[in-house]
Amino acid sequence: MKERPILFTGPMVRAILDGSKTQTRRIVKPAPNMAPALSAIENVNGGFFDADSRAFECPYGQPGDRLWVRESWGVVSNDWDANGNLTDWTPDRPATAITEMRFGQGYYSGHAIYAADGSYEWAGDDDGGGEPRSAWHPSIHMPRAASRILLEIASVRVERLQDCSDDDARAEGCSGYETSPFADPVPPSGEYRELWESLNGTGSWDANPWVWVIEFKRVTP
């Protein structure tokens, strides 16, 4: 069993936490050369060969491997009591205790908190000129010690992006939505198309790339 990091946006983190997201799709890179005979691909151990006999193995792992989630995060170390004295911060939101966690040129101790759970104001945190600044760190910079979500891969397959069905879209955390009483509702697959393009750019859905479909379950500590 191997562990690897994987990035998720705030809305997708919330969908994982509430149990509605159990799949993720990631573009196969480099793009494989798929002959017509390979349109229905035979996946073997989470990998495949393309028409040029190039071997492709899922970079996110195989069934049984684990993924630790990277998300936007920050660290709260201290608070102030009613008398203005510095004291340890007592979590009032989801938080992960950390002790001397290496980050950048120094170390953090305290609690990691997560932007997906809502905003948080760091008292006294400014740019030196009295202007507030964000203390959230990008998800790509999250170290393993700060991660709060661990996923286990249940299956891996490869398919075209547009093969995503309504059931698959629901597993991606999209339930569809109503637009108006006079228009047809947007189905889960339509909502997922909008989500995909918001992350990958206009036209990325029509490009219909080959994607890894990774099904997972959350590991409870």
Q: Are 63 and 82 in contact (CB under 8 A)?
A: no
Closest CA to 74 of 53, 52, 93: 93
Query: What's the pLDDT score for residue 94?
Result: 94
Map residue 15 onto helix, strand or coil: helix
Task: Please list the rounded mean pLDDT of every run of 10 residues in the chain (221 residues).
Answer: 95 96 96 67 68 88 96 88 85 90 76 91 53 76 94 93 97 93 92 96 96 94 61
Structure tokens given for 18: 């509430």
Cα 120 to Cα 61: distance, rounded to the nearest angstrom: 34
End-to-end CA distance of the chain: 16
4 vs 61: CA distance, rounded Å: 8
pLDDT of 195: 96
| pLDDT the model gives residue 124 | 40
Cα–Cα dist 137/215, whole Å: 27
Determine the Cα–Cα distance for residues 139 and 148; give it in Å rounded to an integer: 12
DSSP 164-218: --HHHHHHBT---B---TTSPPBPHHHHHHHHHHHHH-TTTTTT--EEEEEEEEE
- pLDDT of amino acid 131: 55
The dihedral over CA atoms of 153, 154, 158, 164, expressed in degrees to the nearest 10, equals -110
Query: Which pLDDT score is estimated for 201?
Result: 96
Q: Which fold has domain 3-68+149-218?
A: 2.30.130
Alpha-carbon gap, residue 75 to 122, rounded angstroms: 9
Whether 75 contacts 106, CB under 8 Å:
no
For the entire predicted model, the pTM comes to: 0.87
| Cα distance between residue 52 and residue 50, in whole Å | 5
Query: What are the sequence ranges of the domains in the chain?
Result: 3-68+149-218, 72-139
Among 106, 123, 124, residue whose Cα is nearest residue 98: 106
CB 159 within 8 A of CB 41: yes
Taking alpha carbons only, the member of 43, 41, 23 closest to residue 33 is 41
